[in-house]
Amino acid sequence: MSKTAKTLSDKDGNVLELTAADLKRFKPAREVAPHIVERQTRGKQKAPTKVQTTIRLDADLVAYFKSFGRGWQTRINDELRKVIDT
């Protein structure tokens, strides 16, 4: 710890409330520990089965599928698949 650093807890281990000055000294995690927050990108598919495309959909349709959380694009794909398979 540097000479100018201030501890964030008292002698009993209670966490002290942060002041505006404390918050001003904070740095983004990507500057302090980039190895932890480094964003990893996916590589190319080994056997590409999908095609990247752009499609315009009604806002309420997108909101409906997004309301179920992650994987909303896959769910749209699944519903389209049902239409052509029937």
- As a whole number, mean pLDDT of residues 7-19 equals 87
Mean pLDDT of 14-41: 85
Would you place residue 5 in the very low, low, confident or very high pLDDT band (cuts 50, 70, 90)?
low
DSSP assignment of 9-69, as one string? Answer: B-TTSPBPPPPHHHHHH---HHHH-HHHHPPPPP---SS-----------HHHHHHHHTT-
Indicate the domain borders of the chain: 47-86
26 against 6, higher pLDDT:
26
Task: Quote the pLDDT of residue 3.
Answer: 57
Tell me: the pLDDT tens digits for 38-85?
Answer: 777 777 777 778 888 999 999 999 999 999 999 999 999 999 999 999
Residue 7 is predicted with a pLDDT of: 79
Residue found under tokens 């002041």: 19
